[in-house]
Amino acid sequence: MIGSELDAAGVHDPSLREAYRRCRTINAEHGRTFFLATRMLAPEQRPAVHALYGFARRADDILDDFDPSVGMAERGERLQLLATQLFNRLTGSGEDDGDPCLAAVVHCARRYGIPWELFDDFLASMRMDLTVTDYPDRAALDRYMYGSAEVIGLQLLPVLGTVGPPEEAAPYAAALGKAFQLTNFLRDVDEDLDRGRVYLPADELAAHGVDRDVLTWCHLNRRTDARVRRALVDQHAINRSIYDYARQGISLLAPRSRPCVSAALTLYSQILDRIEEIDFAVFSQRATVGTVRRIRVGGAGLLRAWGVRHRDHGA
């Protein structure tokens, strides 16, 4: 299957094909919902998405590797090395270092004209995770999320294609990246505390009498305090409103890409449904969308995607 995708994408160099294969494997192993949605894209689009995911995962793994022998300073050095290697490769001044994620993402960036600045902003937010553990307000969190989530949507936009000027679709693509990440923050608030981080605005939590100590109590006791539940309800509503905004941009995408993005939005927003269904008990269980539901939404999306491609081909 991956061979036919690479053929469709015009990737014939053996080492580059292997690099894309590695990125696809990373996506399949770690991004189940994202990988399923990717299957709805045209074959020639899929390798680029795998490459972008693989690179993002590469940076994330540097940060979240639980090896206690690797300190923050060393993680920072590894992130800086990754940034330097990517910049040098994109500008043609660096040699192949054998990193498959870099090889694939550089090829993808050149093919689709994805600017270095979007990768630089992403890596800047990743470096913030080395020292920043709390966000005082929404503005501070938004600055972090621009680099860590919104630019992912902007990187994907040229791969997805648009029916009009890309700049018209860009705010919606960025918003969808933000919506996905906010969903992760709500689902993973307990797990993030294990890493010493809180990705919810402190002032908005404080309005409900919640601070890090209260969250830590919930974490240690596997219970959601009533004050925390009220705070999470508010964050949940904000997340919903961002999905509602992002959904308006689907019609601005190339028709063949709409089933993929629509399915991804549906599946990820259903994590919010699950959080609500478990009454915000995110400290005792993980809110996930069941396999049957993923298959149902994915299957419908695959049929729509096939229909669009078949119609375009017939035209």
Place of tokens 């933000």: 178
Question: Do 9 and 93 sit in the same domain of this protein?
Answer: yes
Question: Do 296 and 159 sit in the same domain of this protein?
Answer: yes
How many domains is the chain partitioned into structurally? 2
| Three-class HEC string of the chain | CHHHHHHHCCCCCHHHHHHHHHHHHHHHHHCHHHHHHHCCCCCCCHHHHHHHHHHHHHHHHHHHCCCCCCCHHHHHHHHHHHHHHHHHHHCCCCCCCCCHHHHHHHHHHHHHCCCHHHHHHHHHHHHHCCCCCCECCHHHHHHHHHHHHHHHHHHHHHHHCECCCHHHHHHHHHHHHHHHHHHHHHHCHHHHHHCCCCCCEHHHHHCCCCCHHHHHHHHHHCCCCHHHHHHHHHHHHHHHHHHHHHHCCHHHECHHHHHHHHHHHHHHHHHHHHHHHCCCCCCCCCCCCCHHHHHHHHHHHHHHHHHHHHHHHHC
Question: Do 14 and 118 sit in the same domain of this protein?
Answer: yes
Q: Domain limits at 217?
A: 153-314
Query: What does the pLDDT look like over 2-24, one tens digit per residue?
Result: 789 999 999 999 999 999 999 99
CATH code (residue 188): 1.10.600.10
- Residue 290: predicted pLDDT: 56
Question: Do 170 and 273 sit in the same domain of this protein?
Answer: yes
Query: What does the pLDDT look like over 227-262, one tens digit per residue?
Result: 999 999 999 999 999 999 999 999 999 999 998 899
In this predicted structure, the answer to whether residue 312 has a pLDDT above a threshold of 90 is no
pTM equals: 0.89
Query: What does the pLDDT look like over 117-171, one tens digit per residue?
Result: 999 999 999 999 999 999 999 999 999 999 999 999 999 999 999 999 999 999 9
Question: Do 217 and 88 sit in the same domain of this protein?
Answer: no
- Residue 303: predicted pLDDT: 43
Give 41's Cβ-side CA count (13 Å radius).
25
Query: What does the pLDDT look like over 188-227, one tens digit per residue?
Result: 999 999 989 999 999 999 999 999 999 999 999 999 999 9
Is residue 248 a part of any domain in this protein?
yes
Task: Say if residues 27 and 34 touch (Cβ distance below 8 Å).
Answer: yes
Confidence bin at 66 (pLDDT 50/70/90): low
In this predicted structure, the answer to whether residue 299 has a pLDDT above a threshold of 50 is no
Is residue 139 a part of any domain in this protein?
no
In this predicted structure, the answer to whether residue 186 has a pLDDT above a threshold of 60 is yes
Is residue 119 a part of any domain in this protein?
yes
Nearest to 122 by CA among 144, 90, 106, 138: 144
Q: Which of 77, 96, 131 is the last residue of a domain?
A: 131
Contacts (Cβ under 8 Å, ≥6 apart) of 84: none
Average pLDDT, the chain: 89
